[in-house]
Amino acid sequence: MRNASEGRRLDTASVAGIAVFSSLALILSGVSQAFGLNFPIIPYLQFDLGEVAILLAFFIFGPVPAIASSFVEFAGLMVFGQQVPVGPLLKLFALLSTVAGLAAGARLSSGLGEERLGRLLGSSAAIGAVVRAIVMTGANYYLIVFYYGLAAIEGFLKSSFSIVGIGLSDANALVIILAFTAIFNVLQLFLVTGASYFVLKVPAISRIKVAGKAPWFTMVLKGNSPVAKPL
């Protein structure tokens, strides 16, 4: 238990990592908003490059710094983001569910060996996508049914769905909108996981030492990370 608790404790290097990656997440989120990287079928959903920074915080420093970075980004989006407070709250749910899924996937991939970075990210992203899709489907169901109203959302999205040949009606609108929202969340996670992979596979990243510690993902691949093992 002692080693497990040490794996979860924030040291100075982790705090610095949180500051760097949460700031980078806010900058990249701002870039995404500026370029209008919206999901064409459901235009109020936006692809967010800021999540690349959260995934890098996860794989370099571990789950706890990634969670902390998510909360810092949430606080920043509450000030500078769009659709406050709904947008930032949904982003927080998405990030926390993603980190939970990534951690489960990393635990399954512990001890694969340093050359298996792609498999680590692949299994982590697959489980992360499932957890995220489930959580965000529930959150969006509540918003559509109880907050905005199904009729309002259906009316807003009818034209964009009709472009791809899908007709929305009172009978099918909720199921179709939630299904495409889940698809968006899966695509978003795979997009940022792919971008993170190209950063993490740079040899200099795996060899870097922060306060004498190797990046978290290299410890997972070697089977040396207490966070990636059962307690």
- The boundaries of the domain holding residue 119 are 2-228
Residue 215: strand, helix, or coil: coil
The predicted model scores a pTM of 0.90
Q: Which residue has 């991939």 as its token pair?
A: 109
The band of 79, judged by pLDDT with boundaries at 50, 70 and 90, is very high
Asked if residue 201 has pLDDT above 80, the reply is yes
CB contact burial 7-38 (16+ within 10 A = b; e otherwise): beeeeeebeebbebbbebbbebbbebbeeeeb
Using only C-alpha atoms, the chain has a radius of gyration, in whole angstroms, of 19
Asked if residue 5 has pLDDT above 60, the reply is no
Q: Which residue has 């949180």 as its token pair?
A: 18
Tally the domains of the chain: 1
The band of 108, judged by pLDDT with boundaries at 50, 70 and 90, is confident
Which parts of 36-163 fold into alpha helices (H)? 50-61, 63-80, 86-108, 117-142, 150-163
Distances, alpha carbon 115 to alpha carbons 119, 120, 121, 124, 222, in Å:
9, 10, 12, 16, 10
Asked if residue 231 has pLDDT above 80, the reply is no
Percent of the chain with pLDDT over 90: 76
Asked if residue 92 has pLDDT above 60, the reply is yes
d(CA 161, CA 72): 35
Angle between helical axes of 173-200 and 117-142 (0-180°, round to 10) = 150
Helices and strands per DSSP (H, E), number in the chain = 10, 0
Q: How many residues does the chain have?
A: 231
The band of 213, judged by pLDDT with boundaries at 50, 70 and 90, is confident
**pLDDT, mean of residues 86-97:** 97
Q: What is the pLDDT of residue 109?
A: 76
Q: What is the pLDDT of residue 65?
A: 95
Q: Which residue has 């807003």 as its token pair?
A: 156
Give residue-wise pLDDT tens across range 174-197.
999 999 999 999 999 999 999 999
Q: What is the CATH number of the domain that holds 209?
A: 1.10.1760.20
Average pLDDT, the chain: 90
Q: What is the pLDDT of residue 228?
A: 47
